[in-house]
Structure 1
Amino acid sequence: MYKMLLLATLLAVAGCAGKTVNRDNCAYALDFAWKELDLAKAEGFAGTVSYSKALSLLTAAKTQQQFEGYDGCLEDAEKARFYIRESRAGR
């Protein structure tokens, strides 16, 4: 009985630890991408299609971060940074 309780506890702890993978990376990528987006806006690129795509992706990434979907958050933040670069290049 003791071994089963120990095993269940270890599995629960491992499950909780898995949710925090990429938490810091997500936060960093979001922070950096929002700063890049603000810079693109200040440079006058806010009206581009790429800027709008980046804004949508960052909004989705923030939502995923709030629901502990750190992998999706990181992926969307990186995609947003691509579109920010495209926006600043005039595409």
Structure 2
Amino acid sequence: MPASRSPADPRPGDELIIDGRASVQFAAGRGFRFRVTTVDKRWTYQDWVWLSGYVLAPDGEARERREIFVQRDGLRWAPTPPRHR
């Protein structure tokens, strides 16, 4: 998690928590960990952004490619997953 910037300014490679804070569609236990691959630069509604990337399994492995529309202020850094030895 980059200490010098906010998760509200996502960049490729960032790992974020996507849940009900980012969009109501991900509320009620439908949240997930997400690795950003692209951030759409086109204009959308104020403070919203289209992200492309991968839903991550608990071990950090990519499981599903998705495009999501989320509120920037609802994005949070994902904690670093435990590494297997």
Q: TM-score, normalised by structure 2?
A: 0.26
Structure that is richer in helix per residue: 1
Structure that is richer in strand per residue: 2
Q: Which has the larger radius of gyration?
A: 1
Q: TM-score, normalised by structure 1?
A: 0.25
